[in-house]
């Protein structure tokens, strides 16, 4: 750092004073703005965000531009597809990804499948999020602010959550699915239920930690009511990890839906394409046309990766320990 050339020492001394003044302008930056700044500089976050934007674009807009209908079994009609004899034509000029085992255009199904996969992922995550946040928030607020009855309520709620956790996720999903019969809604609910304990625990832990902080003590000593403290003060500060977790859960939701479809619990009718279902249906034809499995699998992997990259980057960005 060199001083600007000036007329003699007096200028230099004035510059000194200037420099000392300049350094006092550091203002506090909010957690969110700081996080956005860090995210923008993180290459993984950018890659994740790009993938997501592409995925959402394809899912929302794609279906309007596909060349063929997704239920049109043209391959069988035209006689080119004979899955029983092991003939399923691959990519060609007319059909960019070829036909699937029922003679439908694979490319169109893949694009439309993106939409269904997105919907399924979002809905199941939302189910888990809403129920989990409600349970966890209630438990956390009760434990932090409610005194003896609050702690008892917290105990009961957490026992329920523990019960849900006492089963491996797949078995829990299977039990739910068995109750409701195979359908896409079943799968969404099942996967949603599996993620409830995660959100509940997360929010509860976050709220309890916040409830012990000094600003809560200050608010309550000023006479602010417990419920108001919980909603206006504690909840906003506890939301950051929940948002991170929601993003990560979206990734696993998509994969778990695929697993449940693979096990036969999803929509038995493959008319509406969904990547997990397409992957499951393609298993018998792996020898003849592995592409039928590879395309949706790659789609799932890349999309899940996108959500995961973004989620992990957000977790790092929002980590208060890393703030300078």
Partner 1 sequence: MALLDVQDLSVTFARRGQRTVHAVDGVSFNVDAGEVVGLVGESGCGKSVTSLALMGLLPRQRGVHVGGTANFDGTDLLSLDQRSMRDVRGRDVAMIFQDPLSSLNPVVPIGLQVTEVLVRHRDMGRDAARKEAVELLDRVGIPDPRRRLKEYPHQLSGGMRQRALIAMAVACQPRLLIADEPTTALDVTIQAQILELLKELVRDLGTALIMITHDLGVVAGMCDTINVLYAGRVVETARRRELFAGRRHPYTEGLLASIPRLDAGRGEKLTPIRGSVRDVLPWLDGCAFAPRCDRRVEACVGEPPAMVPTHTGHEYRCVNPVPLASKEEAGA
Partner 2 sequence: MFRFIVRRLLQLVPTLFGLSILLFIWLHRLPGGPETALLGERGTPESRAAIRESLGLDEPLPFQYGRFVKRLIQLDLGTSISTKREVTTEFLQRFPGTVELTIMAMVIAIGVGIPLGYLAARRRGSLLDQASVGGSLLGTCVPIFFLAYVLKAIFAENLGWFPTIGRQDASIEATHITNFFVLDGILTREWDAAADAIWHLILPGIALASIPLAIIVRITRASVLEVLGEDFVRTAEAKGLTERTVRRRHVLRNAMLPVATSIGLLTGLLLSGAVLTETVFAFSGIGAFIRDAISNLDYPVLMGFIMIIAVIFALVNLLVDVSYSLIDPRVRVR
Q: Which of 123, 308, 310, 318 binds partner 2 (CB under 8 A)?
A: 308
Name the residue nearer to partner 1 (CB basis): 2 or 30: 2
**Distance (Å, rounded) from C-alpha 99 to C-alpha 76?**
10
Instruction: Tell me: does residue 49 bind partner 2 (CB under 8 A).
Output: no
Distance of CA 235 to the CA centre of its chain: 20
Instruction: Tell me: does residue 322 bind partner 1 (CB under 8 A).
Output: no
3-state class of 271 per DSSP? Answer: coil
Phi, then psi, of 82 in degrees rounded to 5: -130, 85
In sequence order, which residues have a C-beta less than 8 Å from that of residue 249 and are 6 or more positions away? Answer: 125, 128, 129, 195, 198, 199
Binding segment for partner 1 among 17-25, 99-107, 198-206, 263-271 (CB under 8 A)? Answer: 17-25
Instruction: Tell me: does residue 251 bind partner 2 (CB under 8 A).
Output: yes
Binding mask 107-146 for partner 2 (x = CB under 8 A): ----------------------------------------
Q: Could you please report the per-residue DSSP string of 269-282?
A: -TTS--HHHHHHHT
Instruction: Tell me: does residue 166 bind partner 2 (CB under 8 A).
Output: yes
Q: Across the strands, what pairs with 99?
A: 105
Name the residue nearer to partner 2 (CB basis): 67 or 268: 268
Name the residue nearer to partner 1 (CB basis): 3 or 167: 3
Instruction: Tell me: does residue 152 bind partner 2 (CB under 8 A).
Output: no
CB of 139 vs partner 2, minimal distance in Å? 16
Secondary element (H or E) of residue 291: helix 291-317
Phi, then psi, of 86 in degrees rounded to 5: 80, 30
| Alpha-carbon distances, residue 103 vs 68, 155, 205, 217, 241 (angstroms) | 12, 56, 52, 67, 46
Q: Considering only CA atoms, which of 97, 65, 102, 7 is closest in space to residue 296?
A: 97
Q: Across the strands, what pairs with 82?
A: 87
Q: Which of 5, 7, 9, 271 binds partner 1 (CB under 8 A)?
A: 9
Name the residue nearer to partner 1 (CB basis): 27 or 148: 27
Name the residue nearer to partner 2 (CB basis): 246 or 258: 258
Question: Encoding tokens for residue 316?
Answer: 């790092």
Instruction: Tell me: does residue 245 bind partner 2 (CB under 8 A).
Output: no
Name the residue nearer to partner 1 (CB basis): 19 or 53: 19
CB of 187 vs partner 2, minimal distance in Å? 13
Helices within 27-105 (DSSP H only): 31-41, 43-61, 74-78
3-state class of 76 per DSSP? Answer: helix
Q: Which of 160, 219, 272, 288 binds partner 2 (CB under 8 A)?
A: 160
Other CB atoms within 10 A of residue 31 CB: 14
Q: Looking at residue 188, what DSSP letter applies? A: H
- List contacts with partner 2 (CB under 8 A): 159-160, 162-163, 166-171, 174-175, 178-179, 181, 251-252, 255, 258-259, 262-265, 279, 283, 286, 290, 293, 297, 300-301, 304-305, 308-309, 312
- Report the interface residues with partner 1, using CB under 8 A: 1-3, 9, 12-13, 16-17, 19-20, 23
């Amino acid at each position: 750092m060199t001083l600007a050339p000036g007329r003699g020492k007096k200028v230099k001394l004035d510059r000194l004073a200037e420099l000392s003044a300049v350094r006092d302008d550091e203002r506090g930056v909010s957690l969110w703005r700081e996080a956005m700044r860090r995210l923008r500089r993180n290459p993984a976050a950018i890659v994740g965000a790009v993938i997501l934007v592409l995925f959402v674009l394809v899912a929302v807009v794609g279906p309007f531009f596909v060349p063929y209908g997704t239920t049109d079994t043209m391959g069988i009609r035209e006689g080119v597809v004979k899955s029983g004899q092991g003939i399923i034509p691959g990519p060609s000029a007319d059909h960019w990804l070829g036909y699937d085992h029922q003679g439908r255009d694979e490319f169109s199904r893949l694009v439309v499948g993106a939409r269904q996969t997105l919907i399924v992922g979002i809905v199941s995550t939302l189910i888990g999020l809403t129920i989990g946040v409600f349970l966890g928030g209630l438990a956390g607020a009760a434990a932090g602010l409610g005194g003896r009855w609050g702690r008892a309520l917290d105990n009961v709620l957490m026992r329920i959550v523990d019960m849900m956790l006492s089963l491996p996720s797949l078995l829990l999903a299977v039990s739910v699915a068995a109750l409701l019969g195979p359908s896409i809604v079943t799968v969404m609910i099942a996967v949603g239920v599996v993620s409830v304990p995660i959100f509940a625990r997360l929010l509860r832990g976050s709220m309890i930690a916040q409830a012990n902080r000094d600003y809560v003590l200050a608010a309550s000593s000023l006479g602010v009511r417990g419920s108001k403290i919980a909603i206006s003060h504690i909840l906003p500060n506890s939301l950051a990890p929940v948002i991170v977790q929601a993003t990560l859960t979206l990734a696993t939701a998509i994969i778990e839906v695929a697993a449940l479809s693979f096990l036969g619990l999803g929509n038995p009718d493959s008319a509406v394409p969904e990547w997990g279902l397409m992957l499951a249906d393609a298993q018998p034809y792996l020898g003849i046309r592995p592409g039928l499995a590879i395309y949706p699998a790659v789609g799932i992997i890349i999309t899940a990766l996108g959500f995961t990259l973004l989620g992990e980057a957000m977790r790092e960005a929002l980590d208060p320990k890393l703030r300078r």
